[in-house]
Structure 1
Amino acid sequence: MTLKYTKDHEWLRQEADATLVTVGITVHAQDALGDVVFVDLPEVGKSFAQGEVAGVVESVKAAADVFMPVSGEIVEVNEALRADPSLANSAPMDAGWFFKVRLADAAQLAALLDQTAYDAFAAES
């Protein structure tokens, strides 16, 4: 499974079905936000273009938009995260995922950051 990152501090993991990706916020993002208290997740079935706001995450410090890292249709949202937003802090790369997307254009994945490039970017921001 391929793991990619955006400069907006979202991660996405390409699943066994290569047309499906899981999206969440990075460890760096949740560290910057502090304790997450609310998430606004997108509607299943809704399509977004790459870069559009697909959700919001609110913490005790701030609110931040969650941007769509690739164009596609929302096929599932993490109801456990909606019920317990602190999962974005305790397990941002696992149980704290936000939504799953059916890719509209798999070529968009190539332009995203790999682990090394993201780590370098996050260290500077």
Structure 2
Amino acid sequence: MSGEIKRFGIGARMSEGVSCNGIIWLAGQVGKPGDSVADQTRTCLAEVDRILAEAGTDKTRILSAQIWMADMADFAEMNSVWDAWVPQGHTPARATGEAKLATPDYRVEVIVTAALK
């Protein structure tokens, strides 16, 4: 059915992901508070992989990514993890910016939109 909305990881406040018309939008993924930027990024990306797999798709289908960082001084550290994770030839449109995150212990938040298979 066209326009059917499917939700993944439904919670009281938000869902981990919502799909409609062949697209899935993921909520922002964060790592463990207090971990290094690299470890938080790894955790974020593992959660992206998990949610996309639950929806029947994968990171080769990511259309766009938004990455919020508590401090842009950590950009290179985050990118070292991102570059090892993102499939070459399937890099999405991406924007990275600095913002206050939900708590000072969060250093990275990753938000993606992907096409379903």
Q: Give the structure-1-normalised TM-score.
A: 0.31
- Higher RCO structure (Cα 8 Å, ≥6 apart): 2
Q: Give the structure-2-normalised TM-score.
A: 0.32
Which is higher, the Rg of structure 1 or of structure 2? 2
Higher relative helix content? 2
